[in-house]
């Protein structure tokens, strides 16, 4: 295994459990506190291996103010070559660490891309970290019309979030009924239309 793969296993545990339960970042934050240069070196390696978890971990290191520029510089250097979930997580981390709102377009591009549905649902969820814009709402609405159910589901939840509503789309019997496979493309488009309108009523786009 690579140095990153060994480190990932030590810090986060078995990949299946990370996927199933989500990652805990307590251990990597402790290691960053003890040896920041080594952790950043390994995160760079993980990013270059296309591991989205490395990009996500970068915003969970609990750095001091003086350490932020180095983390941001690493992410900015790696973003242009990154793709898929790694690209989405790097952009989300950069934004969480003070980067501009325009980074959201990287996440939206992943949502609308050709990656595996698991990558695209993560991108749909990451969009909630950003304030809605007309382009982002359009991207999430396209996600609601996606052929994959889970992409539709999480894109709909993102629009709900931007509309200031609590809960999930499954709490709305009518819209959820349209969103499932039985609704078909016309039903999905209707959900996208209604949720887009709800966002526009909640915020000025």
Among 68, 99, 130, residue at a domain's last position: 99
Which residues lie below 8 Å from residue 127, measured CB to CB, with a gap of 6+? 104, 107, 108, 111, 136, 139, 140, 158
Confidence of residue 176 (pLDDT cuts 50, 70, 90): very high
With 80 as the cut, is the pLDDT of residue 124 above it? Answer: yes
Mean pLDDT, residues 31-59 taken together:
98
Residue 71 is part of which domain span? 1-99
Same domain, 125 and 31: no
Same domain, 4 and 88: yes
Confidence of residue 205 (pLDDT cuts 50, 70, 90): confident
The pLDDT > 70 percentage for the chain reads 100
Residue 180 φ then ψ, to 5°: -70, 170
Same domain, 66 and 17: yes
Q: What's the domain count of the chain?
A: 2
C-alpha to C-alpha distances, 37 to 31, 32, 40, nearest whole angstrom: 10, 8, 5
SS3 1: coil
Same domain, 90 and 184: no
C-alpha to C-alpha distances, 7 to 1, 23, 106, 183, 203, nearest whole angstrom: 10, 14, 27, 45, 43
CA dihedral 39, 128, 51, 142 (to 10 degrees): -160
C-alpha to C-alpha distances, 137 to 98, 141, 146, 169, nearest whole angstrom: 22, 6, 14, 16
Among 99, 127, 149, residue at a domain's last position: 99
Same domain, 90 and 137: no
Is 94 part of any domain? yes
Is 107 part of any domain? no
The pLDDT > 90 percentage for the chain reads 95
CA dihedral over 154, 160, 164, 165, signed as positive or negative: negative
Same domain, 74 and 125: no
Is 105 part of any domain? no
Same domain, 95 and 151: no
pLDDT computed for residue 181 by the predictor: 74
Is 31 part of any domain? yes
Which residues lie below 8 Å from residue 151, measured CB to CB, with a gap of 6+? 111, 117, 120, 121, 124, 143
Same domain, 184 and 150: yes
Is 141 part of any domain? yes
């Amino acid at each position: 295994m690579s140095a990153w793969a060994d480190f990932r296993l030590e810090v986060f545990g078995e990949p299946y459990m990370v996927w199933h339960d989500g990652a805990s970042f307590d251990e990597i934050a402790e290691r960053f506190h003890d040896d920041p240069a080594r952790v950043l070196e390994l995160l760079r390696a993980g990013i270059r291996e296309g591991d989205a978890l490395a990009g996500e971990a970068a915003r969970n290191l609990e750095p001091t103010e003086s350490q932020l520029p180095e983390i941001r510089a690493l992410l900015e250097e790696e973003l242009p070559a990154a793709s898929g979930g790694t690209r989405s997580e790097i952009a989300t981390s950069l934004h969480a660490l003070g980067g501009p709102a325009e980074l959201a377009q990287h996440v939206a591009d992943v949502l609308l891309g050709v990656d595996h549905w698991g990558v695209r649902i993560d991108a749909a969820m990451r969009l909630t970290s950003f304030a809605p814009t007309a382009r982002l709402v359009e991207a999430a609405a396209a996600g609601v019309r996606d052929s994959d159910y889970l992409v539709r589901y999480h894109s709909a939840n993102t629009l709900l979030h931007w509309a200031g509503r609590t809960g999930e789309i499954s709490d709305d019997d009518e819209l959820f009924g349209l969103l499932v496979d039985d609704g078909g493309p016309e039903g999905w488009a209707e959900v996208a239309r209604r949720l887009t309108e709800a966002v526009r009523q909640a915020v000025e786009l």
